[in-house]
Chain A
């Protein structure tokens, strides 16, 4: 069973829809036992970092998530909250990835919104995905390049499109909204064996 973490931050339904299409049942839940016992965990999120962190804390999820042992996939704000800290609302985050989240300088249009390709892809998430495939991004803050960077996107500045450390995976883009390439990446995550 797959758990999609529900902490009242954004559109989790589309993640569930995507998994269903790929043949995986998923529950949307904030129940700590269900999350701990899930085969895989997806940590989605859209919205503002400090209020999202507050919601995680209210549910005790700030302690649960960093201690999960199964494969975990953070998406968009979920990924940013897995980093050390975000400039958005001066938020101290979960600290899973040794990485800082910063606001894009306004030398080009912000938010970075739309389809972009990624490069320097590492790891199993990118099996059968090429650097000409595009993913759907929408964000004004970005995770810096760090030792956990597993692919790079370039918009205004090169930044971490995905991160990986041990059982923790994360994508800045929305694989559930990224057409066939996004579904391929989700499938690669769902097929991980640990």
Chain B
């Protein structure tokens, strides 16, 4: 049986892991290579690294960091942040990343999804969608959640699937940072529209939130950041708890 994936996300700035709220008040959360190794030992199923300062100079640092991570870990990992050209993807995959994640650049130029999927295969193209609810509709936001777009989340999700995305990383901005659980409504609505894997993101605060997202939605993975970095939830323990509740989990 296919197992549900627990995915820690590491925000990277100048080669360090950081955590903050809306990019302010960043707290240093450690050396990403060491943190990544710890997560692999704890049983993480996959890792996501997001470069939150995607300047040109920083890009080189990121590629070097990806090389180090690839040498140290033996599970799949995704790298995102500021990716807008074939050469960006090529450099990151050659450095050892398995997948790349695109967000704002895909909204700006949706054909990028098709370009990347044709060249590198859909399996390595993750489209990250930041979504926020307005009345009865959900809208896509870009630039780290700062700019609202005209895309309704439902339409955009279908479009990225059609363009060849291999997976959707769906973040609920309404739930992100609240620690009140994943956005079950949004996840269920989007998974009715697309047939590619969806990773749930935003809102994880306690172990029951993971049970809920796997029992009540079709999400195949759940992503979280600070609750793992600061040791609030140990991944191994979380997976034991999920297994006891008959959720398909890898050990």
Contact = CB atoms under 8 A, between A and B. Distances in A.
B48 to A, nearest CB: 14
Contacts of B70: 13-14, 17
Interface string A1-43: 0000000001101100110110000000000000000000000
A106 interface: yes
Contacts, number: 94
Contacts of B220: 109, 113-114
Interface residues of B, number: 35
B250 A134 contact: yes
A112 to B, nearest CB: 7
B98 A114 contact: no
A70 interface: no
A134 B3 contact: yes
Of the listed residues A116, A139, A183, the one surrounded by the most CB atoms of chain B closer than 10 A to its CB is: A116
Contacts of B95: 13
Contacts of B40: 179
Contacts of A17: 70-71, 96
Which of B2, B75, B166, B167 gathers most chain A CB within 10 Å? B2
Contact of A113 (B74, B97, B123, B251): B123
A16 B31 CA distance: 24
B195 A10 contact: no
B61 to A, nearest CB: 18
A155 B195 CA distance: 14
Interface string A121-137: 00000000000101010
Given A48-B121, A139-B123, A179-B40, A110 B2 contact: no
Given A114-B2, A134-B3, A18 B74 contact: yes
Interface string B70-99: 110011100000000000000001111110
Residue among A110, A114, A136 facing the most chain B CB atoms (10 A cut-off): A114
Contacts of B3: 114-116, 134
Nearest to B97: A11
A159 B16 CA distance: 42
Given A13-B96, A14-B98, A114-B5, A177 B121 contact: no
A117 B5 CA distance: 14
A47 to B, nearest CB: 4
A58 B110 CA distance: 32
A10 B76 CA distance: 14
B51 interface: no
Contacts of A113: 123, 166-167, 197, 220
26 contacts: A11-B124, A13-B70, A13-B95, A13-B96, A17-B70, A17-B71, A17-B96, A18-B74, A46-B121, A46-B123, A47-B121, A48-B118, A106-B195, A110-B195, A111-B197, A113-B197, A113-B220, A114-B3, A115-B45, A117-B1, A134-B3, A136-B76, A138-B76, A138-B166, A177-B76, A180-B74
What 5 A-B pairs have minimum CB-CB distances, sorted nearest first? A115-B250, A47-B121, A134-B250, A115-B3, A138-B123
